[in-house]
A = this chain, B = another copy of it.
Amino acid sequence: MASHKSREPTLTEQARRAQLIDVTTRVIAEHGYAGASLSRIAGAAGITKAAVLYHFRSKDAVVRAAYEHALADLVDHVGGAVEAAGVEEAPAAYVRSMVEYLRDHPHHTRVVVEALSDDGGERHPRERWGPLADLMRAARRARGLRTDLDLRTAALVVGGGIDAIIAEHLDHPDYDPVAAAELLVSMLHRVLLSEHG
């Protein structure tokens, strides 16, 4: 058997898994989650279904691996940008870096967003914009402003704006998502600086 016995993974094993994650990401980007069948993934990789299932124990495992790979990349990028920015500018950095990342990695985009929306159906409904809300709360605190404003909703709205900008960019490639993100950031700052919270 393959990596079943907790053996160290072979070279070809690693290569195949990486390749399969890559082609699966592309297939999902092109045909959506629903259109990402096992045979389509196998065909795109130039092997048979059985070979795919030799390296992953189920189709779902392949898709999940592709999703986690893309998500890890995104989290890494956004996380880096947020850390590099000061506390007060962290929310803006979050918005900008996320939009930039998804503009630069159109493949990853669909995997991530469809995984978060379709979600398989029974996943834990993680607070998707919770981290952004936390950054916003910290930024307001650093500015000496009250934090009893409804930041959950504010983060939700900003997050929805990010999604919308990305979606627009996806089917209108000439639409500039970074320029749009700047407008969103300006709206974000107005919320962030408002006194009436």
Question: Residues on A close to B: CB < 8 A?
Answer: 32, 34, 117-118, 121, 125, 129, 150, 153-154, 156-165, 167-168, 171-172, 179-180, 183-184, 187, 190-191
Q: Is the CB of A165 within 8 A of B161?
A: no
Q: Which residues of B contact A164 (CB under 8 A)?
A: 129, 156-157, 159-160, 163
Q: Is the CB of B153 within 8 A of A180?
A: yes
Q: Is the CB of B153 within 8 A of A165?
A: yes
Interface centre among A117, A161, A167 (most CB of B within 10 A): A161
| A7, B186: Cα distance in complex, Å | 58
Q: Is the CB of A183 within 8 A of B165?
A: no
Interface centre among A34, A159, A160, A183 (most CB of B within 10 A): A160
Q: Which residues of B contact A165 (CB under 8 A)?
A: 153, 156-157, 160
Q: Is the CB of A183 within 8 A of B125?
A: no
Q: Which residues of B contact A187 (CB under 8 A)?
A: 157, 187, 190-191
Q: Is the CB of B32 within 8 A of A118?
A: yes
Instruction: Answer whether A184 and B161 are a contact pair too, CB < 8 Å, given A34-B34, A179-B150, A190-B190.
Output: no
Q: Which residues of B contact A184 (CB under 8 A)?
A: 153, 157
Contacting residue for A157 out of B117, B150, B172, B183, CB 8 A: B183
Q: Is the CB of B190 within 8 A of A150?
A: no
Q: In the assembled complex, how far is the CB of residue A117 from the closest CB belonging to chain B, in whole angstroms? A: 8
Q: Which residues of B contact A121 (CB under 8 A)?
A: 32
**13 A-B pairs, CB-CB below 8 angstroms?**
A34-B118, A117-B167, A150-B180, A153-B180, A154-B183, A157-B160, A160-B162, A160-B165, A161-B161, A163-B163, A163-B164, A187-B190, A187-B191
CB closest residue in chain B, given A154: B183
Q: In the assembled complex, how far is the CB of residue A154 from the closest CB belonging to chain B, in whole angstroms? A: 7
